[in-house]
Structure 1
């Protein structure tokens, strides 16, 4: 179904278990007001030919690129996402050695019928935000930052022995509970393959 809106853009910090290396997600925090989110996915593909034709085709997630347009990236969020630091005078200082740690990214997109699609991307590593600035002329033009990140699969295996990279749910699907929707931003969604 077509979407007509985007909001509730959150991030959750990731620490890795010393014993297993698995991701442990922090409490989700509002990142900024969302303007746009563009997700493109790159696949690893292979085709096996046999008997003069394609016999097997494999397409697996390799990585993705997430480009977020936001109203503002505050100092504390920029420090988490990019590895920049805030000095003792409250100034955000970016250096060539910066490299933020991956975070989980959650958001929702409004569908044309009024309900929402909810998404968590499990592991995104961001680069320094880009900016486009212009002088004010006869008309006012807003200039807002864009931040781009690489979407990766997470290290932690799910209940099926796979490495998920995204979780999404549509509000209003008959088998989706209201508790699932209302608790979407309480924590990063963990896949559950247990039978009820």
Structure 2
């Protein structure tokens, strides 16, 4: 079903243990969302046998997330890109900047009024693009765009796999607390017989 809206753009900082397994901080709002373009790159291989394709493997390799937002505040820019805020509150970007990966969550409104919720578990952002223009006869809004690379997370789920995305549509979830708590914590995959306690 088609989506007709996008909102509630959040991010959560990641802390890694000695093995690289992620723990997520409490999510905070990134900015007001305008656009979110998600593309995925797959690693593919085809095994040919008896003059035809015998086996085909397609696995997640990485992805790209391009976010159009209304504005990036200083603390958000610092968290996402590694820029620092000096003693005067000025955001300083350097050639050596490189922000740490974060988890990114958002939701998209569907044409039936329900929402589809997303968490991308590990996104490393680059420097935001900025377009500026002088004011002419009409007003034109110029807003930042920030692009990040989506990676699988290091921490395995209970099935021994490395998730890169969690996605659910409102009404399809068995436990309503999943939606209620979507922005309180980064969603953790659950494969038990009943809802976790």
- Distance in 2, matches of 1:22 and 1:69, equals 29
Q: Secondary structure at the match of 2:184?
A: coil
Q: Aligned pair 1:13/2:13, yes or no?
A: yes
1:180 is displaced (CA, Å) by 1.1
With 178-187 and 69-78 compared, the bigger mean Cα shift is at: 178-187
Task: String of CA shifts for 1:23-57, please: whole Å, max 9, x gaps.
Answer: 01000000000000000000000000000000000
Is residue 63 from structure 1 mapped to residue 57 from structure 2 by the alignment?
A: no
Partner SS for 1:89: coil
Provide the rounded CA distance (Å) in 1 between the counterparts of 2:141 and 2:20: 42
Q: TM-score, normalised by structure 2?
A: 0.97
Q: Distance in 2 between matches of 1:7 and 1:75?
A: 21
Structure 1 gaps of 5+ residues are: none
Partner of 1:125, secondary structure, is strand
Residue 147 of structure 2: aligned partner = 148
- Secondary structure in 1 matching 2:30: strand
Question: What is the number of residues matched between the two proteins?
Answer: 194
What is the distance in 2 between the residues matched to 1:40 and 1:69? 15
Deviation at 1:177, TM superposition (A): 2.5
**Structure 1 length-normalised TM:** 0.98
Q: Which residue of 1 aligns with 2:183?
A: 185
Match of 2:49 in 1: 50
SS at match of 1:158: coil
Cα deviation digits, residues 168-190 of structure 1 (max 9, x gap): 000012x4332111110010000
